């Protein structure tokens, strides 16, 4: 039972980091749109922050679940950031596209699908690969004489 608690705690932490990064991305995107002449509205600004934070949290949770399921018993040093970026890109594109497919119907959907899939696919790839690279770098800074104990699944 303690094993599930540790996995859940790690997944919540990973999602929180992804949500914060997504909120920063959403705020930057809203500010760019506001300063380039698309107008300024606080509800649109907050909507972009919360939607980007939510999708990024879901994406990083999907990456964490996928890596824990597929890469069982892989140590952190054996996991490539490029593989994590690929998983992140797929999760980043699939989760928002699934939400859009379930909620939107109308004209111009192929363009919406392409834009959303590309944007969140790139964000998911950056989150997946970047978080694994940061974790590997932190793992290398372990105390001398200690063996690496970071595993995707215990």
For the stretch 110-153, pLDDT in tens is 666 777 788 888 888 888 888 888 877 775 665 555 555 555 54
Q: Which structural domain, as residue segments, surrounds residue 111? A: 2-140
**Is 128 part of any domain?**
yes
**Is 154 part of any domain?**
no
Q: What is the pTM of this model?
A: 0.71
**Is 35 part of any domain?**
yes
**129: which residues sit within 8 A by CB, 6+ positions away?**
81, 82, 84, 85, 88
**Is 57 part of any domain?**
yes
Q: How far apart are CA 40 and CA 33, in angstroms?
A: 8
How many domains in the chain?
1
Q: Quick one: pLDDT at residue 2?
A: 64
**Is 146 part of any domain?**
no
**Is 152 part of any domain?**
no
**Is 150 part of any domain?**
no
**Is 133 part of any domain?**
yes
pLDDT tens-digit readout, 47-101: 888 988 988 888 888 888 887 777 666 676 777 888 888 888 888 888 777 777 7
Cβ-contact 56, 28 below 8 angstroms = no
């Amino acid at each position: 039972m303690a094993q599930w608690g540790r996995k859940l705690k790690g997944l919540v932490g990973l999602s929180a980091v992804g949500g914060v990064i997504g909120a920063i991305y959403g705020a930057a995107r809203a500010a760019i749109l506001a300063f380039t002449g698309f107008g300024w509205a606080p509800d649109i600004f907050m909507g972009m922050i919360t939607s980007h934070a939510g999708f990024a949290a879901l994406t990083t949770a999907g990456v964490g679940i996928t890596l824990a399921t597929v890469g069982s018993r892989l140590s952190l040093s054996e996991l490539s950031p490029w593989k994590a970026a690929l998983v992140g890109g797929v999760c980043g594109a699939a989760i928002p596209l699934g939400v859009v497919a379930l909620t939107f119907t109308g004209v111009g959907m192929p363009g919406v699908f392409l834009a959303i899939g590309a944007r969140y696919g790139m964000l998911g790839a950056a989150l997946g690969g970047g978080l694994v690279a940061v974790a590997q770098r932190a793992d290398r800074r372990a105390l001398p004489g200690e063996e690496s104990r970071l595993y995707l699944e215990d």
